[in-house]
A and B are shown apart, each in its own frame.
Chain A
């Protein structure tokens, strides 16, 4: 049996590994991309710059290609340990090797600049291309499945290597006498399962338990280096509210 909480200091904090299922420690030496509000603590000498910060221009031009999420992201620069966490979700790191993985924008916490971030054609999702490590959160442990599969939009964390999904609509329940009554009167209601994302082809699909639509907490503005951004102007937050 353990006795009491574990005490961490800069020499014992894990290097690019989980502190516990809900927190991840990045050993920073250089630059990492970080989503706003996902850093809960850090040791060392780290500064946080907005994406528009001048000296970062060459880095941005190679690694960040998502105009609508510019307001959600900052670059952490320096040396030290950075602890990441998100809504008490399970946090995991993933290594890509010359690969591609698409992940729900709100669930991506941070990524190494060796990866390139691109906006997916599916709204609310971001694609990472290249080699390197990234950190993502999920409600409950991530479950990997292989296509063919149909997934509730709320349960989708992301997908790797397989073609982008398409929409699948289930209209079977609208047929027949009962279906007609249901359509005309609304009596009987909807099952909530009329719409899924359908995956086919070879690859991996990442599932979570549902994406709880908690009230979006306004992140603490990290000092005056970051211009204030209203929640409405923030498409990433909007996407999360819409459940994408």
Chain B
């Protein structure tokens, strides 16, 4: 269970026998006997998972945090946001993951499987790539964002459109696709700058940052 110390710091208990995975170099301070080991696999699973992440470009360097005590995390002066998972799935870009508990199952998902060709176009158009990292299970995760994070609920009768650059993560049974609003204005270079939006439908929550700066 992570504690949000302030807008830019998260404290995580380090309990013997329970591992944490964190972005390398993101530890701010720690108490007790805690070790930080660079994780050659870039996360959980075996060689196959590692290769999958390499190919998917979701292999942000991680380290394993073990021992007993507590550790504080933060990175790059970015805002942090703690998300508590209770059996559901969090979809998040690997480089936005600050720290997560080892009890969460980490895997890489091909976005093309959500929405077929449109999903692929979504990845390319939004600069998020074709793959995203998923965390499933019970436990805490902390994500990074430029500017504060706010949550917007997604309900079946109320789809939500998010600027791809401001999108941080989402959870729940949510389908995402790119909606475009390209007309002759974009073609002549007089666009609104909001030609691409991420349309999220279903049941869940989307996390949005108050900035259009990607990490």
The chain A residues found within 8 Å of chain B, CB to CB, are 139-141, 143, 145, 148-152, 154-155, 170, 172-173, 178, 182, 187-193, 196, 205, 207-212
Q: How far is the CA of A191 from the CA of B35 in the complex (A)?
A: 10
Which chain B positions have C-beta within 8 A of A187?
A: 40
Q: Report the stretch among B26-34, B106-114, B197-205 that lies at the interface.
A: B26-34
Q: List 22 A-B contacts (CB under 8 A).
A: A140-B7, A143-B5, A143-B6, A149-B31, A150-B30, A155-B28, A155-B72, A172-B37, A173-B35, A173-B38, A188-B38, A188-B40, A190-B24, A191-B36, A191-B38, A193-B24, A193-B63, A207-B29, A208-B8, A210-B74, A210-B77, A212-B76
Q: B25 near A: Cβ within 8 Å?
A: yes
Using A148-B31, A212-B76 as known contacts, say yes or no to A191 and B9 having CB atoms under 8 A apart: no
Determine if B76 and A210 form an interchain contact, defined as CB atoms under 8 angstroms apart.
yes
> Do residues A193 and B29 form an inter-chain contact, with CB atoms below 8 A?
no
The 3 closest A-B pairs by CB, nearest first: A192-B25, A140-B8, A209-B8
Residues of the A chain whose Cβ atoms lie less than 8 Å from the Cβ of B25: 191-193
Which residues of A lie under 8 Å from residue B19 when comparing CB positions? none
Q: Which residues of B contact A139 (CB under 8 A)?
A: 8, 77
> When the two chains form the complex, which single residue of B5, B29, B35, B76 contacts A151, counting CB atoms closer than 8 Å?
B29
Q: Per DSSP, are chain A's interface residues mostly helix, strand or loop, or mixed?
A: loop
Chain B interface size, under 10 / 10 to 19 / 20 to 34 / 35 or more: 20 to 34
Cα(A172)–Cα(B36), bound, Å: 9
* Assembled-state Cα–Cα distance A11/B9 (Å): 37
Complex CA–CA separation, A140 to B147 (angstroms):
11
Contacts of A209 in B (CB 8 A): 8-9, 28, 74-75, 77-78
A172 to B27: give the CA distance in the assembly, Å.
17
Q: Nearest Cβ distance between residue B67 and chain A, in whole angstroms?
A: 10
User: Complex: how many Å from CA A182 to CA B63?
Assistant: 14
The residue on B at minimum CB distance from A178 is B40
Is there an interface contact between A182 and B8, defined as CB atoms closer than 8 Å? no
Interface residues of chain B, those whose CB is within 8 Å of chain A, are 5-9, 24-31, 35-38, 40, 61, 63, 72, 74-78
Query: What is the distance, in angstroms, from A117's C-beta to the closest C-beta of chain B?
Result: 26
Quick check: A190 and B38 within 8 Å, CB to CB? yes
Instruction: Collect the chain B residues with CB atoms within 8 Å of residue A154's CB.
Output: 28
Given contacts A141-B7, A209-B9, A210-B28, 15 further A-B contacts (CB under 8 A): A140-B8, A140-B9, A140-B77, A143-B9, A149-B31, A151-B29, A187-B40, A188-B40, A189-B61, A190-B38, A191-B36, A193-B25, A193-B27, A209-B74, A212-B77
Establish whether residues B40 and A173, one from each chain, have CB atoms under 8 Å apart when the complex forms. Answer: no
Are A191 and B77 in contact, CB atoms less than 8 angstroms apart?
no
- Distance A190 CA – B38 CA, assembled complex (angstroms): 6
Q: Report which of B8, B29, B36 forms a contact with A149, defined as CB distance below 8 A.
A: B29
A205 to B29, CA, bound (A): 10
Bound form: Cα–Cα A19–B36 in Å:
40
Residues of chain B with a CB closer than 8 A to A191's CB = 24-25, 36-38, 63
Complex Cα spacing A95 to B9, Å: 24
Return chain B residues, CB-CB under 8 Å to A189.
Answer: 24, 38, 40, 61
Q: Given A140-B74, A151-B29, A189-B24: A172 and B9 within 8 A (CB)?
A: no
CA distance A190 to B27 in the complex (A): 13
The residue on B at minimum CB distance from A172 is: B35
